[in-house]
């Protein structure tokens, strides 16, 4: 599987503000049923870090991850 730097959401730190969802120019992120941000389109992620910069609660870490 290919790898690239993508946001990793730390569920315990996510306050459900949706800032990362709004910030992503590629619409990669959505809120899940627990109101936690989640990566839904990893293939579209450009590793731009806009989501990381938008998060007010340090709930996003940029990490090298495999994706389909």
User: x-or-dash pattern for ligand SF4, window 28-67, by CB under 6 A?
Assistant: xx-------x-------xxxxxxx--xx-x-xx-------
Dihedral through CA 54, CA 55, CA 61, CA 67, nearest 10? -70
Q: Are 6 and 45 in contact (CB under 8 A)?
A: yes
By C-beta, is 59 or 68 nearer to ligand SF4? 59
Please tell me the number of Cα atoms within 13 Å of 54 on its side-chain side: 19
Binding site for ligand SF4 (CB under 6 A): 6-7, 9, 14-20, 23-24, 26, 28-29, 37, 45-51, 54-55, 57, 59-60
């Amino acid at each position: 599987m290919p790898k690239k730097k993508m946001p990793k959401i730390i569920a315990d730190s996510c306050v459900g503000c949706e800032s990362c969802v709004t910030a992503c120019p590629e619409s990669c992120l959505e809120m899940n049923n627990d109101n936690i941000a989640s990566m839904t389109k990893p293939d579209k992620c450009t590793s731009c870090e806009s989501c990381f910069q938008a998060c007010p609660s340090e709930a996003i870490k940029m990490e090298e991850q495999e994706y389909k």
